[in-house]
């Protein structure tokens, strides 16, 4: 299946994510892989009550679209959907949702993981953590960069 036959949809929103509704919006397919990223209530030994998610209006959407289209070009998919929240997000709430549909699970698993690894290292979002001790900007992690590097084509 070519990238053209894959339905690519991306979204950036302040409203809470509705994973059940998002799942129902996916087309019927042999394999459906979804991923939900939730805000952890701890990081670097500090308690986290909430995050503030900053983004770059315009570039963030372009970046998510490019990542989803890249997945659709590399694997045989019938849908690739990414929705990311911005603004204030409480611990325990979902921050990102990815849904991938394919005829076979191999393509769906790989594409979903690729999308998350690429998003973590390429999409312009920045997290600020709020806890009892105040607020701090989250540092990028070397482990995210090495995970994303696994997908580099030779």
Partner 1 sequence: MLRVLFFARLREQLGCEALDLKWAPEVNCVAALRAVLAQRGEPWQQALADDNLVAAVNQVVADAATPISSGDEVAFFPPVTGG
Q: Residues interacting with partner 1, by CB under 8 A?
A: 37, 53-56, 58-59, 62, 84, 95-96, 116, 119-128, 137-140
User: Residue 135 forms beta bridges with which residues?
Assistant: 130
| Cβ at position 102, least distance to partner 1 in Å | 21
| Cβ at position 75, least distance to partner 1 in Å | 20
Q: Which is nearer to partner 1, 72 or 85 (CB)?
A: 85
CB 31 within 8 A of CB 105: yes
Q: Which is nearer to partner 1, 62 or 104 (CB)?
A: 62
Helices (H) and strands (E) in the chain, counts: 4, 10
CB 34 within 8 A of CB 97: yes
- Sheet containing 31-38: give its strands across: 7-13, 77-85, 94-102, 31-38
Q: Which is nearer to partner 1, 29 or 148 (CB)?
A: 148
| Cβ at position 57, least distance to partner 1 in Å | 10
């Amino acid at each position: 299946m070519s990238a053209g036959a894959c339905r690519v949809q991306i979204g950036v929103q302040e409203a809470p994510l509705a994973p059940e509704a998002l799942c129902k919006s996916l087309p019927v397919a042999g394999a459906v892989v979804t991923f939900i990223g939730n805000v952890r209530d701890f990081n670097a030994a500090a308690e986290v009550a909430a995050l503030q998610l900053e983004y770059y209006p315009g570039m963030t959407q372009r970046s998510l679209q490019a990542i989803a289209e890249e997945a659709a070009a590399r694997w045989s998919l019938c849908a690739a959907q990414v929705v990311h929240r911005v603004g204030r997000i409480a611990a325990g709430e979902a921050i990102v949702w990815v849904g991938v549909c394919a005829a076979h699970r191999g393509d769906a698993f790989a594409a979903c993981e690729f999308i998350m690894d690429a998003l973590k290292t390429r999409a312009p979002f920045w997290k600020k953590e709020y806890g009892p001790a105040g607020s701090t900007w989250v540092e990028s992690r070397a482990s995210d960069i090495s995970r994303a590097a696994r997908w580099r084509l030779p």
